[in-house]
Amino acid sequence: MQLVLERIGKTVGAQTWLRGMDLALQPGAVTVLLGATQAGKTSLMRIMAGLDAPTEGRVRVDGVDVTGMPVRERNVAMVYQQFINYPSMTVADNIDLAPDLRTPI
């Protein structure tokens, strides 16, 4: 799956969190998102997953514009650094569980 962000911007009130962000994630690649506290890393990831909407720009998955698409239809998810849904399970087991919990629309 290829995920592409085009000119992503996020403004909340008078604060600009992201401005003109471009990013292309290729299938099978490992990508690291680094930045200072409040640099917009989580905001960017939430926009990728569809949990927040950008105020400008587009999100594409395999060439399809998913910017306004509901979260369930995007086939994109995010895993938090310190949050595990089921502490008794490994991180991999928690990730593997997500598709099993998904129900058809």
CA nearest 23: which of 39, 51, 47, 50?
Answer: 47
* Predicted TM-score (pTM) of this structure: 0.75
CA nearest 53: which of 36, 74, 23, 32?
Answer: 74
User: Model confidence at 62, in pLDDT bands (50, 70, 90)?
Assistant: very high
> Which pLDDT does position 77 carry in this prediction?
76
The domain segmentation of the chain, as residue ranges, is 3-80
3-80 falls under which CATH superfamily? P-loop containing nucleotide triphosphate hydrolases (3.40.50.300)
Whole-number average pLDDT of the chain: 86
| β pairing state of 64-65 and 3-12 | unpaired
User: Model confidence at 98, in pLDDT bands (50, 70, 90)?
Assistant: low
Tell whether the model's pLDDT for residue 104 goes beyond 60: no
- pLDDT tens digits for 11-51? 999 999 999 999 999 988 888 889 998 889 989 999 999 99
Residue recorded with tokens 């009130």? 13
